[in-house]
Every structure is written in structure tokens, then in C-alpha cells.
Amino acid sequence: MTTDEIEIAKVLDELYDIVSGPAGPRDWSRQRSIFHEDSRQMRTWIDTEGKPAIRIMDQEAYAADTTPFFAENDFYEVEIARKINIFGNIAHVWSIYEARRAPDADTLDRRGINSIQLYKDESGWRVVNMIWDNERPGVVASL
């Protein structure tokens, strides 16, 4: 791996570590250390009418949106595959994840793909955009 790939891998490891853990608060200051201040996080899904839906959030909106869930639920998200492409000061990562209620749980809550764009500034690689979708019938995560 190149130095840039190693640095990006550290950002992604931190990204998954921030949201994973037993029920309770998350340390959102850690998110600010790996996300650009103007970053966006976008959750996609299929709504009850079968139509594509998206929620676009800045860091504060993401924390507000997920805090109630994390307060009441154990949640462990791990990366199972990654593909990094770098061009100059920009990078794109496809990252397949799995989420469970316990790190060693046999039951899978969900699997999906994060599409992550990063920008390298004087302080290192930072996430500028992240959009994700979960598997569902006919949509299977693979790289």
C-alpha cells in the first residue's frame, strides 16, 4: 500500500469505529477530525411506495439523526471489503460494511456499500462526501 492508501485506511477505520459500540453516546468530536467541515453524509433507501429516497446531512444533522438510535441500541459496523482510487488530492473509496448488534453476533442486521469521497489538504485526508445504500432483494454489495 502507498502512504496515501495507508492514511485513507486509517480514516476509514476511524469512521467505522466512531459509530460502533454498545448502546450509549458517541464521541462526535472524533467525526470532526476525519470529515471536512463542509462534508455531507447521505443515506439512501427505498420508501414505502417503492421510490428512491435520500436524506442529505451535514455533521451536526447526522449526529442528531443517529443519536437516538445509538442511545438505545448496541451497534457494530465493520468493513468487509474496500477499493481505493486516488488521483492527486482526491480519492474515492468503495467500502462494503456489515452491521450487527454485537461484534460476534451470527445475525446480520444489514450489509451495504459506502461510497466515500476524500480530499487531501495540509492536515491529511478528510471525507467530503459519503453516500450509502443497504442491500435488499436484487441489490447485493460486491466490488
**Domains of the chain, with CATH numbers?**
3-134 (3.10.450.50)
The pTM (predicted TM-score) of the whole model is 0.95
Residues contacting 129, CB < 8 A, separation 6+: 39, 40, 41, 42, 116, 117
User: What are the b/e assignments for 76-92, b being 16+ CB within 10 Å?
Assistant: bbebeebebebeeeebe
Cell of 27: 464521541
The model's pLDDT over 35-60, given as tens digits with 9 standing for 90+, comes to 999 999 999 999 999 999 999 999 99
The model's pLDDT over 90-129, given as tens digits with 9 standing for 90+, comes to 999 999 999 999 999 999 999 999 999 999 999 999 999 9
Q: What was the pLDDT predicted at 123?
A: 94
Mean pLDDT value across the chain = 97
| Alpha carbon distance 86, 91 (integer Å) | 4
DSSP category for residue 65: H
Q: What was the pLDDT predicted at 4?
A: 98
